[in-house]
Structure 1
Amino acid sequence: MGVSAYRERTIELTVDGLDGPHTVTHHRIDHDHSNVEAVWRSMGGGAWPADEQWDRLRAANTLDEAAPPRTVEGGTVTLTSDLPMPGVSLIELTP
């Protein structure tokens, strides 16, 4: 099933009271990001991974960034992103 078969929604997050610049890091879990099961299916799936498949599965077992980190100024910040369904975003703001 291709990504086009998944619905997307637009999310908007507003954060008030940021003191100074912050780095925004956006991680995602969805069909194309942080999805070990999709990697497993792309290798043919099956009952259990063969010994030679484990390294690729371990390498895919990460929390992927949906976008490169960026810097925002303090005060009020509004972040907008598309989010596939099903999907989860983790947005970190680090001073």
Structure 2
Amino acid sequence: MAFSQKSRHLDAVAEIKALFENAKLYKIDGDDKNNSPNVKSIKRFISEINDRNFAYITVKESIIYGHRIYSLELKEINKALLDEGKPKI
């Protein structure tokens, strides 16, 4: 049975905690999109779902009224282009 991209995305969201705990950090940015002074960093992670599928996770760290706020987002699921057995990032 074939599953749609939306179905795979929803399944991954249901497992976001496990995916994030096993994720590898691959990039740290500032808020280049909105240039918000409240955004301390935007961290990008990749987590293997199975042999050739990877979840890309974004974590935004903000400081609002002195409190750190972390927003976690499952950005996408892709069949990775592999480079020496590892996903190309």
The alignment's TM-score, normalised by the length of structure 1, stands at 0.27
| Between structures 1 and 2, the one with greater strand share | 2
Which is bigger in relative contact order (C-alpha 8 A, separation at least 6)? 1
Larger Rg, first or second structure (1 or 2): 1
